[in-house]
Chain A
Amino acid sequence: MDTEIPQVIDAELHETFFRKWLNVLGPFLGLIAVVVLFAAITGSPEKYLSPFNIRIVLSQTVIVAISAIGMTVVIISGGIDLAVGSTIALAGVVTALTINAGLNPVLAVLAGTAVGGIVGFVNGSVISRLRVVPFIATLGMLGIARGTAKWAANQQPVDVSATWVNNLVVTFPDPPWLLLAPGIWIAIVLAVLMAMVLRNTVFGRRVFAIGSNEAAARACGISTDKLKIWIYSLAGIFFGIAGVMQMSRLRQGDPTVAAGTELDVIAAVVIGGGSLSGGQGTILGSMIGALIMAFLRNGCQQMGWANYVQEIIIGAIIITAVAIDRIRRSKT
């Protein structure tokens, strides 16, 4: 008896290569479509696409984009984190309080980031040790983190004394040769770094493994509990950094800020090709997803449309993106 196995034909391989690109290309084409559409209907493409406006859009994207990096990791692993907005608020409040306490702003930024990491660590621990499903665990944390932020801030925004932290996401950076605000550069560096970690590290591949087939990962001796704690802690660190950016933007630690941001962040990841059932998603895709939503919001503002119009359009876009994805997949 021979050991030959039915061969996978080469055409199929090429197809998967092509498909891989299509996964990123799809959102990218969506982004171009949104930009072109609004450039046309605002009637003044030179204004919509001016360096000034693009800077504004990018600054507006920073918070969602940095959060989406963390969320991408969580979603690839087959999880979800609903506490993003509250974590951002809590991290912002902690950063502001630390600065006002007279500590070095560097320490304040680290403190804000660390608070995010701690929230994530608790999420991961509850999910893996207490076996609470991620949706519920982070839904609970959504309230806990928000409440803690309000408590810490004494229920009102914490005005912060002027330091370099306040200039992280300004529209015109100082020095001007930076071209873009430091926060934008930080987001880009973090995105590239995380993309490499996901592609090239043992940790990264295990994130995919656990999302693709958790039972298989466990059977292979991967400690899925520890891995989940790492994943949520890491994501929390990203939400913490986003919280620092949020504080910088408002120049105050507002405990009520960023309510509902988690939905924007999840939408960015999903528009970018992430699958809520796990095993799938890219950082590049999520970044494009975040940009699509930012350009859309900005375009609607330029058109003078009411906020509710934006909300309806963004809702429709999320459904369309996922529907297109489903149709594409069902054709395999």
Chain B
Amino acid sequence: MPVVDLRDITKRFGQTVALAGVDVSLNEGEVHALIGENGAGKSTLMNVISGGVRQDSGSMALHGKPYSPSDPLDARKNGIALIHQELSLAPHLSVAENIMMGVEDSRFGWLDRQAIESRAGVLLSNFEHTGIRPNMPVGKLSPAAQQVVEICRALAANAKIVLMDEPTSSLQREDVGHLFSLIRKLAADGISVIYISHFLEEVREIADTFTVLRDGKSVSAGNINDVTDSFLISQMVGRAVDNLYPKRPPYSGKPETVLKVKELGLQPALQSATLELRRGEIFGIAGLMGAGRTEMARAIFGIDKPNSGTITVKSRAMAARGGQPALRLSQGLGYLSEDRKGEGLALKLSIADNVTITRYGPCSRFGWLDQAKQRRVSTELMQTLDIRVKSSEQPVQTLSGGNQQKVAIARLLHQQADILLLDEPTRGIDIGSKAMIYETIAELADQGKAILLISSYLPELFGMCDRLAVMTRGRLSPARPIDEWTPELVLEKAIGSGDGDSLENTHGH
């Protein structure tokens, strides 16, 4: 008998149909992947199962019995735990307090701290990490350790079914392995896991079975090993995607050097980076998280003040420390932050405001904004980038991750940036948006723009770049043409010659 059995679940929010008939079923100890593009209805489905939202029609059963949770607490009591995409812990509280939140031991309202810490300790010991102690403040832990705390919290309420909504999006790549071993341990203990992800490699590595959602419907399901990646992708997007990375002819214009960075340093994160970026090329930067890649991009753009080095933009050389974002913008640089929600977009403002914010010029006269023009300009870009929303007036926070990222890219297009610093432009977004962004980047390179592409995803770097350099603990390697690199070579370089301490240095800021 399946542990969870969903039949024909539907849900609509006003005009929008979020779920239009979803069937999912999974067995005890099974890891079930829920795959689908953003907006396919995965998060709504998770909310239905975990009691946050009630379905309009359709039935749910747990262990063969009808199940309809009245609220999240009820779902939790029924053994269902939802682990959110973003880590949702209280940083000021201790590990034990976070794990036992909502189900604290107490006597007449007084906390039984000893019981809480010892129960939390038992749960933690399941995972054999002596590193995390119950009385530590959670804010001090690395993201990987925080994820362990979240999973322990799920178990504290005796969860039998754990729902994970893109759990790796807040993790550094090397921590994903740790997470997977935790999931395997859960499954071995008879706990069923529903795992949402965009990354097919991940899904393939961890899941036993899968369901593909498209436009709110479950369109295919089965054993993950019986199907190919291209089958899954075609199910997700509803058409065959033969090649994600567009083929580019060699750049036909003059390969003039537009950005020269010499011995740029921002200690301790960035020791020394030297590179030359030419028109018409896509220059890749590989490396582990925390190796200093983001710091380099920020230092080039003048967000953080470097201690040393010189930066030459279009033959104007100056000490790197003199850079300011305003100056760099006027020099034609554009920056796409890896932290889309934190510093990339103004979430509460409309798409139109977000797109035009770096260059109000064409939409204003004597300081007065022409809002109709703003809307027109952004609507055009929304069509170019295939951002499918009702209007450019919509606040950015109502968009899916993929669409948000496209808005960030649209801003760079509107800015008419000449030199683009793109930090993880496709992290955590759906495959359709990814394809669109790759296409846009390739087109920009064809137009003679210079592009610096920072990514942790090797296939992306190999698919897109002309040249590549690797950042290792704050030092940037010399660049080499992409066909002189292999993934193994990049990884070897990124980890550094043999010693493994790069893994431990990644937490803390």
Contacts and interface: CB of A to CB of B under 8 A. Distances in A.
Given A3-B181, A204-B111, A215 B88 contact: yes
Contact of B140 (A3, A16, A205, A206): A16
A208 B97 CA distance: 10
A217 B72 contact: no
B109 A202 contact: yes
A13 B136 contact: yes
A209 interface: yes
B382 interface: no
A323 interface: no
B72 A221 contact: yes
Nearest to B177: A1
Nearest to A1: B181
Contact of B142 (A5, A205, A211): A5
B506 interface: yes
B507 A6 contact: yes
A16 B132 CA distance: 15
Contacts of B223: none
B172 to A, nearest CB: 10
Interface string A276-295: 00011000000000000000
A222 interface: yes
Contacts of A279: 90-92
Interface stretch (B99-107, B248-256, B341-349, B391-399): B99-107
Interface stretch (B3-11, B123-131, B482-490, B491-499): B123-131
B111 A3 contact: no
Contact of B178 (A3, A12, A213, A215): A3
B91 A5 contact: no
A71 B148 CA distance: 34
Contacts of A205: 93, 97, 104, 111
B92 A222 contact: no
A82 B422 CA distance: 45
Interface in B115-164: 127-132, 136-137, 140-142, 144-145, 148, 153, 157
A212 interface: yes
B76 A6 contact: no
Contacts of A218: 72
Contact of B180 (A1, A211, A223): A1
B111 A217 contact: no
Interface string A182-204: 00000000000000000011111
A6 B92 contact: no
Contacts of A12: 140
B113 interface: yes
A63 B148 CA distance: 46
A319 interface: no
A130 interface: no
Nearest to A278: B92
A205 B93 CA distance: 8
B13 interface: no
B120 to A, nearest CB: 13
Interface in B169-223: 177-178, 180-182, 185
Contacts of B128: 3-4
Interface string A86-97: 000000000000
B91 to A, nearest CB: 6
A6 B506 contact: yes
A5 B131 contact: yes
B171 to A, nearest CB: 11
B80 to A, nearest CB: 11
Contacts of A5: 127, 129, 131-132, 142, 144-145, 148, 178
B109 A220 contact: no
A204 B103 CA distance: 14
B34 interface: no
Given A6-B145, A8-B132, A8-B145, A219 B182 contact: no
A201 B92 contact: no
Contacts of A206: 101
Interface in A3-58: 3-8, 12-13, 16
Interface residues of B, number: 51
Nearest to B75: A221
Given A5-B132, A205-B104, A219-B84, A280 B181 contact: no
Given A6-B145, A201-B110, A205-B111, A212 B90 contact: yes
B73 interface: yes
A273 to B, nearest CB: 12
Interface string B390-408: 0000000000000000000
Given A6-B503, A6-B507, A8-B131, A211 B92 contact: yes
A208 B178 CA distance: 30
Nearest to A332: B509
A279 B148 CA distance: 22
A56 to B, nearest CB: 37
Q: Among the interface residues B90, B181, B506, which one has the most CB atoms of the partner chain A within 10 A?
A: B90
B412 interface: no
A136 B157 CA distance: 37
A2 B129 CA distance: 10
A213 B127 contact: no
A234 to B, nearest CB: 13
A288 to B, nearest CB: 20
Given A3-B129, A8-B140, A212-B92, A220 B101 contact: yes
A7 B131 contact: yes
A206 B90 CA distance: 10
A204 B104 CA distance: 12
A219 B88 contact: yes
Contact of A209 (B90, B110, B141, B509): B90
B144 to A, nearest CB: 5
Contact of B111 (A7, A13, A202, A332): A202
Given A8-B136, A212-B91, A222 B101 contact: yes
Interface in A299-317: none
Interface string A202-244: 1111101101110111111111000000000000000000000
Interface in B59-97: 71-73, 76-77, 82, 84, 88-93, 97
A3 B72 contact: no
A236 to B, nearest CB: 20
A216 B109 contact: no
Contacts of B226: none
B127 A208 contact: no
A331 to B, nearest CB: 11
Interface of A: 1-8, 12-13, 16, 200-206, 208-209, 211-213, 215-223, 279-280, 332
22 contacts: A1-B181, A3-B128, A4-B178, A5-B127, A6-B144, A6-B503, A6-B504, A8-B131, A200-B111, A203-B109, A205-B97, A205-B111, A208-B97, A209-B97, A213-B90, A213-B91, A219-B72, A220-B76, A220-B102, A220-B103, A221-B72, A279-B90
Given A3-B127, A5-B144, 10 more contacts: A3-B129, A8-B145, A12-B140, A205-B97, A205-B104, A208-B90, A208-B92, A212-B93, A213-B91, A218-B72
